[in-house]
C-alpha cells in the first residue's frame, strides 16, 4: 500500500509521576533522516529510539520531540568541599586578626563562599522509565504511520486518475501517429518527383530519406509510454516503499514525451505532447511525497 511521507503522531503518559509527551512530524526527504530533540538525560536512549522508528518508516525527514514535565530524570545531592572551607576559614581568621575585625564568622559567610557547597545532579535511569518512553515512541510512530497510510491512499487515487488521463492522451497520439508517417511520405514523394524532373539533386533526396527514417515513426515512444504507465499502476499496489521507482518512471515518461515532441512535425501531436508533459509534471510533484 502506497504511503505518503507527510504525517504527524503524538503520544503522552505518566511515567514515575512525570508527564512525558512524544510528538513526531514527517515531511518528504530523499532518505530516512531522524532528528531527535529531547532532554539530555535521555540521550543514552537515542539509538534505541532511532531503531524503533526505522523499523516502521524507511524514508522521510522525521522530527521527534520528547518533553518531560517533572524532575524524575535527575537526583540532587549536596557536595561539601571541606578542604576548601578549611582554607577559607583559616584565611578569614588571619584577615580578622591582621585588620582587627571583630565580626564573627557565620554560616551565611560560609554558604556565600564560591565552590564550598555545590548541588550535584545525576541522571536517573531505570527499566521502567526506559520501557515507558519506548512505548510512547512506538505509539507515536503508529499514529504517524497511520496518517502517512491514509494520505498515501489519497495520493494513490490522484495518481491513478492522472495515469488514466495520460493513457487517454497516449491513445490519441497512437491514432495520430500514422498521420505523421503519411505526411512525411507525401513530402518524400514530392521530393522524388522534383528529383525526377531535375529540380532537386540526389544528395537532397538522401537527406530527406534519412530525416524520414529518423523522425517519422513515434510508435516506439508511444509503446514505451504505455509500458511505463502499466508499471506505474502495478507499483501502486506494492507493499514496500516505491517512491524512488516511481520517480524513475516519471523521468522515463518525460523523456519519451520530449522525444515525441522533437520527432512529430504536426500541430495536433504537439498539442497532445504539451498536455502529456503537463500531467507528467503533476505526477512528478506527487511522487516527491511518496515513501
102-111, 199-208, 211-220 — most confident range: 102-111
Per-residue model confidence (pLDDT) at position 243: 93
User: What digits encode the pLDDT tens for the residues 225-282?
Assistant: 999 999 999 999 998 899 999 999 999 999 999 998 887 777 888 899 999 999 999 9
Q: Are 101 and 109 in contact (CB under 8 A)?
A: no
Could you report the per-residue pLDDT of 140-162, keeping only the tens digit for each? 999 999 999 999 999 999 999 99
The pLDDT of residue 176 is above 90 = no
For the residues 159-186, what does the mean pLDDT come to?
84
Instruction: Please list, in sequence order, all residues whose beta carbon lies within 8 angstroms of the beta carbon of residue 75, skipping any fewer than 6 positions away.
Output: 121, 122, 124
* Phi, psi (deg, nearest 5) at residue 198: 85, 10
Task: Provide CB contacts within 8 A for 13, sequence distance 6+.
Answer: 19, 20, 132, 135, 136
pLDDT beyond 60 at 124: no
d(CA 72, CA 18): 7
CA-CA distance, 272 to 170, in Å (whole number)? 8
Of 121 and 86, more confident:
86
Q: How far apart are CA 66 and CA 13, in angstroms?
A: 12
Q: What's the maximum distance between 2 C-alpha atoms anywhere in the chain?
A: 133
| Average pLDDT of the chain to the nearest whole number | 86
Confidence of residue 120 (pLDDT cuts 50, 70, 90): low
What are the backbone dihedrals phi and psi of residue 288, each rounded to the nearest 5 degrees, phi first?
-60, -20
Which H, E and C letters describe 222-242, residue by residue?
HHHHHHHHHHHHHHCCCCCCC
The rounded Cα 229 to chain-centroid distance in angstroms is: 24
Higher pLDDT, 181 or 54: 54
> What are the CA-CA distances from residue 46 to residues 34, 122, 243 (Å)?
10, 18, 27
Cβ-in-10-Å burial (0-12, 13-18, 19+) of 138 comes to middle
Q: What is the pLDDT of residues 241-251, one digit of tens each?
A: 999 999 999 99
Amino acid at each position: 500500500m502506497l504511503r505518503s511521507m507527510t504525517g504527524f503522531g503524538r503520544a503522552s503518559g505518566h511515567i514515575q509521576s512525570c508527564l512525558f509527551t512524544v510528538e513526531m512530524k514527517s515531511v518528504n526527504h530523499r532518505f530516512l533522516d531522524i532528528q531527535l530533540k529531547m532532554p539530555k538525560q535521555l540521550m543514552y536512549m537515542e539509538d534505541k529510539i532511532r531503531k524503533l522508528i526505522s523499523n516502521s518508516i524507511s524514508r522521510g525527514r522525521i522530527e521527534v520531540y520528547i518533553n518531560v514535565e517533572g524532575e524524575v530524570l535527575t537526583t540532587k545531592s549536596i557536595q561539601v568541599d571541606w578542604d576548601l572551607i578549611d582554607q577559607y576559614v583559616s584565611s578569614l581568621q588571619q584577615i580578622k586578626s591582621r585588620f582587627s575585625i571583630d565580626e564573627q564568622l557565620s554560616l551565611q559567610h560560609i554558604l556565600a563562599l564560591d565552590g564550598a557547597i555545590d548541588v550535584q545532579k545525576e541522571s536517573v535511569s531505570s527499566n521502567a522509565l526506559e520501557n515507558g518512553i519506548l512505548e510512547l515512541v512506538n505509539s507515536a510512530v503508529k499514529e504517524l504511520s497511520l496518517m502517512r497510510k491514509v494520505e498515501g491512499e489519497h495520493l494513490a487515487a490522484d495518481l491513478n486518475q492522472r495515469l488514466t488521463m495520460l493513457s487517454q492522451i497516449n491513445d490519441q497520439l497512437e491514432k495520430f501517429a500514422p498521420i505523421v508517417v503519411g505526411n512525411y511520405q507525401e513530402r518524400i514523394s514530392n521530393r522524388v518527383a522534383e528529383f525526377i524532373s531535375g529540380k532537386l539533386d540526389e544528395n537532397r533526396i538522401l537527406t530527406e530519406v534519412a530525416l524520414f527514417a529518423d523522425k517519422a515513426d513515434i510508435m516506439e515512444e508511444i509503446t514505451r509510454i504505455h509500458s511505463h504507465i502499466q508499471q506505474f499502476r502495478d507499483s501502486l499496489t506494492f507493499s514496500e516503499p516505491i517512491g524512488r521507482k516511481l520517480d524513475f518512471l516519471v523521468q522515463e515518461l518525460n523523456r519519451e514525451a520530449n522525444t515525441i515532441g522533437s520527432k512529430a512535425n504536426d500541430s495536433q501531436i504537439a498539442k497532445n505532447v504539451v498536455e502529456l508533459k503537463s500531467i507528467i509534471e503533476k505526477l512528478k510533484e506527487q511522487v516527491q511525497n511518496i515513501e
